[in-house]
Structures are given as C-alpha cells and as structure tokens.
C-alpha cells in the first residue's frame, strides 16, 4: 500500500498556492510602481461612444464594442441606446469583454423622436439601466426653454446659443429643481445621477452664472457632476481649478482637448483636437482627478475631426495609456 507523507503534501499545496499568488502580486507591484497614470491608479480609460459614432443607431453593437476594446478602452459611456434593446447592448458588451459604465439620458427630448429620456416613468428608466448593468446615469444637457425651436436656415448650435441667451435665472432655478427630482427618483432605485456641463452654463447672467445656480440649487447627494473639461476651458474657466473646487462632487470626467484657436466663448462650439495636441495640462489635471476621487475617465472629442474618428480615438487611447503622472 502506498503511504502518503502529509507534510510533503502540505508543502506542495503551500508552494502551489504561493505560485498562484505570484501573478496577482506581480500585477499589484507593477501598478504600485508604474509611472503610467492609468496603470498606477488601476482604472480603465473609457470612451463616450458619441465621439466614435455620433448619435445615430448602430446596426452591430457587438462589432463596435469589440473595436473599442481593441483600441485599449476598458469601459463605455453610451450616448443613448443606439437603437437597440438594453439587454442586447449588455450582451454585446459582455461578448466584447468591455464594461458599460454610464448612459446619457436627457431630461427632455431635443426632438420628438429621441429615445429614452427622464420624461419617462422612473421605473422605466431604472429598468433600462438595470438591463444594461449600469448604475450611473448622466443628464447631458440643460432643460430646454419652452420656446426652443430651430429656425429656418439655422443650425443646432446657433439655435441653442440664441435660445439660452434669452433665458433668465428663473429658468435655471427651475432646471435645478427638476434635476433634484430626477436625482431623488433615481437614488430611490439605487442609481446615481450626474449632470454634464457645456460652456453655455458659464455665461454671466444677472450677476451670477447658470452654472453657479445649478451647483448651488442641486443637492450633491442627488446630483453629482460629470465635468467636461473641454467645455470648461472653452468658457475661459481653468479646468484644473474647477475640478478642485467641485471635488468630491465630480465622479466622472469627459477627457477632451481643444486649441482655443478662436479664443474662449460661451457660444455652443469649439476647436477640438486629439489629446495632447491642445491646451490641457493633462498631468496636473489627472493627478487632481485622482485626489478628487474621480471614478470614470471618458474620452470624448467634438466634431469636426481633422482625421477619421477611428484614428482619433486610437490616438486618444494611446496618449492616455502612455501618460505618466
């Protein structure tokens, strides 16, 4: 009969266990000692999918998500439901090995054909988020004044700028109240809500700004901030200072660069460029974001594009993955 040396077996298990721990320990040590920002903090870079495909429906989300993952992105923020059912998008992301982390949901539709908005019943919005596996929803734009309409021969940026230029502080106070109501309804359902800025909220208005009204009028426990760094800079505000001022309310960033070739403005438009080609001090900004406890870092780039969108998104990913901070 074969005899078993219990001590030898236990030693073997110990060696096997130690060997199994080596890769994990090595990865932790690499993250701890790496000077590359995203390796060091152990977070993925994300992509706001609008930068790659715009707002249009997507016929093959599985192929799209696989493309995004292949660029080096680890999570996706959806601009809308892409003309798909939420469960189908979740399955496509799982198949591609990428995480759906956030969804933009307008407070009101821009046009009647818009998909999911917060005008739907809260349970309906929550059901869509749950099917996506998402617990973070972002209001991407202020409530539009009731008289908003695109005039003949007028583009959307012109119409937006004209309409908000004619709105007073009462509109922004009512917008803050509406955002609080949305945030409360979603919090009751286990979902976090944030608001995404543009530059138009920083325009001087009656001795203050719409941004100040929104930040003062919304409850930080109900409405967090997705700070779009590019739009902040376009308004002539220091994005680093604004990030530090609002921390820890800022839970996600839109990582965006621009050239300011035409100067700063509150007009709904900018001169975009790929990350690292513009005016942003990314080492300082990302270090401050880490200190602030930012959870998600979503790359976004506005049109027009000097190079194909796919090439621009690859350049943006490569820049961030290699950035030392």
Mean pLDDT score, 122-130: 98
List the structure tokens of 20.
Answer: 């199994």
- Return the pLDDT at 8: 42
N-terminal to C-terminal alpha carbon distance within the chain: 63
Indicate the domain borders of the chain. Answer: 42-322
Checking if the pLDDT of 125 tops 60, the result is yes
Nearest to 277 by CA among 232, 315, 321, 324: 315
Checking if the pLDDT of 78 tops 80, the result is yes
Q: Residue 314 to residues 152, 227, 319: CA-CA distances in angstroms?
A: 38, 22, 9
- Return the pLDDT at 12: 43
β-pair partners for 99: 75
Domain 42-322 has CATH 3.20.20.150: yes
Checking if the pLDDT of 191 tops 50, the result is yes
pLDDT tens per residue, range 152-181 = 999 888 988 888 888 899 999 999 999 999
What is the share, in percent, of the chain residues with pLDDT greater than 70? 89
Which pLDDT band holds residue 109 (cuts at 50, 70, 90)? confident
pLDDT tens per residue, range 173-190 = 999 999 999 999 999 999
Mean pLDDT score, 221-227: 98
Checking if the pLDDT of 19 tops 60, the result is no
Helix (H, G, I), strand (E, B) or coil at 73: coil
Contact 228, 197 (CB under 8 A): yes
- Return the pLDDT at 163: 87
Please tell me whether the overall predicted TM-score, pTM, comes out greater than 0.85 for this model. Answer: yes
Average pLDDT, the chain: 91
Mean pLDDT score, 106-116: 81
- Return the pLDDT at 22: 46
């Amino acid at each position: 009969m074969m005899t078993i040396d219990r001590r030898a077996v236990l030693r073997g298990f110990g060696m096997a266990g130690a060997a199994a721990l080596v890769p994990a320990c090595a990865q932790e040590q690499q993250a701890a000692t790496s000077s590359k920002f995203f390796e060091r903090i152990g977070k993925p870079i994300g992509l706001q999918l609008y930068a790659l495909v715009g707002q249009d429906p997507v016929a093959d989300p599985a192929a799209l998500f696989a493309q995004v993952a292949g660029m080096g992105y680890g999570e996706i923020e959806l601009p809308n439901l892409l003309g798909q059912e939420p469960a189908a998008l979740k399955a496509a992301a799982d198949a591609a090995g990428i995480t759906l982390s956030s969804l933009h949901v307008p407070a009101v539709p821009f046009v009647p054909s818009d998909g999911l908005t917060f005008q739907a019943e809260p349970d309906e919005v929550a059901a869509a988020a749950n099917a996506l596996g998402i617990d973070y929803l972002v209001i991407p734009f202020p409530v539009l004044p009731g008289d908003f309409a695109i005039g003949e021969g007028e583009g959307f940026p012109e119409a937006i700028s004209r309409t908000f230029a004619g709105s007073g502080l009462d509109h922004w106070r009512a917008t803050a109240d509406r955002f609080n109501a949305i945030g409360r309804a979603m919090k009751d359902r286990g979902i976090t809500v944030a608001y995404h800025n543009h530059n138009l909220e920083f325009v001087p208005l009656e001795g203050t700004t719409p941004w100040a009204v929104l930040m003062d009028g919304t409850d930080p426990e109900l409405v967090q901030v997705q700070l779009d760094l590019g739009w902040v800079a376009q308004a002539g505000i220091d994005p680093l200072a604004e990030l530090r001022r609002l921390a820890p309310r800022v839970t996600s960033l839109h990582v965006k660069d621009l050239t300011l070739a035409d100067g700063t403005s509150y007009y709904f438009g900018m001169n975009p460029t790929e990350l690292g080609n513009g005016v942003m001090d990314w080492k300082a900004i990302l270090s401050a974001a880490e200190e602030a406890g930012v959870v998600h870092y979503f790359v976004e780039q506005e049109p027009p594009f000097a190079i194909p969108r796919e090439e621009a998104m690859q350049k943006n990913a490569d820049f961030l993955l290699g950035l030392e901070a």
